[in-house]
Amino acid sequence: MVEEFPAGMVWLVGAGPGDPDLLSRKAERLLGRADIIFHDALVGRSILAMAPQAEMVNVGKRAGRHSKDQRTIDRLIVEAALAGRHVLRLKGGDPSIFGRSTEEIAACAEHGVPVRICPGITAASAAAAQGLASLTLRGMARQLTFLTAHARRGEAIEHDWEALGRAKGTLAIYMGRAAAADIARNLIAAGRDPATPVLIAVNVSLPNERLLRGRLDALAFLVRAIGQDDPTLLLIGEAVHCGLAASSGEGIVKEAAGRAAISG
Ligand SMILES: C[S@@+](CC[C@H](N)C(=O)[O-])C[C@H]1O[C@@H](n2cnc3c(N)ncnc32)[C@H](O)[C@@H]1O
């Protein structure tokens, strides 16, 4: 049998949204075998504590403040593997979703370093679960789109808003807090109903989790209560209303709908 984690190999591992119970058993096993771990800023201490034997290197980026740029991360990973280490690159959520895994795989391939991926639970799945919501809805939300609303300072977020506004499916928007007003304005201008349900998940699955519920025309108002360093996932679409009506979030829906205007 081929050894799962030989010396000189790199595993890109999804750490999930934060709760250690949402790690896969495979991820936990790999954490126990690693001797060096390059981790994102969002990976919590309780997950890192599962690998007391490993050297920890924080290579995380938070709200535009980069502790290490991507090329440096690629180089460090490759160097560690070529030195014969058991290298684990631990990423929040799933490595394949806004995780820059392609660059790291390419860097490994260029130097003949074997690399594999262990998937994780992405923030959108965790947000839907915590909000007792569905990301799809029979007959109403037949498509699910993962988007990032992260843009460099002063740059517009480039998306086909016309198509997104017309589509009836669910939008899962990563890194969308700062651009929330633009997102809502663009979607409504493109034809999306202002009353479309939204679910905002902050620090989902962590002890300081917050879920905010409302409608699309209140999005800018709702996100004002969120700190700039709090990881925030926006879910927009009819499907995310499932299970919400009976919850205490209904009060927030009414308050937000009554007071909010999309500013900017
Ligand atoms: C660089 S992306 C990485 C996404 C990650 N690969 C995933 O699959 O969830 C970071 C963004 O994911 C979202 N995110 C990650 N963890 C989260 C959490 N625990 N709660 C809410 N949003 C989260 C936020 O939008 C955050 O800004």
Taking only the tens place, the pLDDT of each residue in 151-191 is 666 666 789 898 888 888 999 999 999 999 999 999 999 99
Structural domains counted in the chain = 2
Percent of the chain having pLDDT more than 70?
A: 86
- 94 and 23 in a common domain: yes
Which atom of ligand 1 is closest in space to residue 204's alpha carbon?
Answer: 20
From the CA of 111, how far away is ligand 1's center (Å)? Answer: 30
Structure tokens that stand for 218 in this block: 């209140």
Atom 16, ligand 1: which residue's CA is nearest?
17
Q: DSSP letters of 206-257?
A: STT-EEEEEEGGGHHHHHTTS-TTS-EEEEESGGGGTTTTTSTTHHHHHHHH
- 129 and 109 in a common domain: no
Which atom of ligand 1 is closest in space to residue 61's alpha carbon?
Answer: 1
Measured from CB, residues less than 6 Å from any atom of ligand 1 are 17-18, 42, 91-94, 97-99, 122-123, 174-175, 201-206, 231-233
In a domain, 2, yes or no: no
From the CA of 66, how far away is ligand 1's center (Å)? Answer: 16
In this prediction, residues 241-254 reach a mean pLDDT of 52
Neighbours of 66 (CB within 10 A): 13
Least confident of 21-35, 99-113, 132-146: 132-146
Taking only the tens place, the pLDDT of each residue in 117-149 is 999 999 999 999 999 999 999 888 889 999 998
Across the beta sheet with 197-202, what order do the strands follow? 144-148, 170-174, 232-236, 197-202, 210-215
Across the beta sheet with 55-58, what order do the strands follow? 55-58, 36-39, 87-91, 10-14, 115-118
From the CA of 120, how far away is ligand 1's center (Å)? Answer: 11
Closest CA to 137 of 187, 63, 196: 196
Residues 243 and 131 sit within 8 Å (Cβ to Cβ): yes
- The beta strands (E) that lie in the chain are given as 10-14, 36-39, 55-58, 61-62, 65-66, 87-91, 115-118, 144-148, 170-174, 197-202, 210-215, 232-236
pLDDT at 36: 98
* CATH classification of the domain holding 110: 3.40.1010.10
Residues 228 and 189 sit within 8 Å (Cβ to Cβ): no
From the CA of 20, how far away is ligand 1's center (Å)? Answer: 15
Pairing label, strands 10-14, 115-118: parallel
Amino acid, res. 179: A
* CATH classification of the domain holding 170: 3.30.950.10
- The residues annotated with a catalytic role in the active site are 40, 61
Residues 219 and 234 sit within 8 Å (Cβ to Cβ): yes
Percent of the chain having pLDDT more than 90?
A: 75
- 48 and 65 in a common domain: yes
In a domain, 264, yes or no: no
Q: Is the pTM of this model over 0.95?
A: no
CA atoms within 13 A on the CB side of 7: 4
- Domain span including residue 105: 10-118
Which atom of ligand 1 is closest in space to residue 234's alpha carbon?
Answer: 25
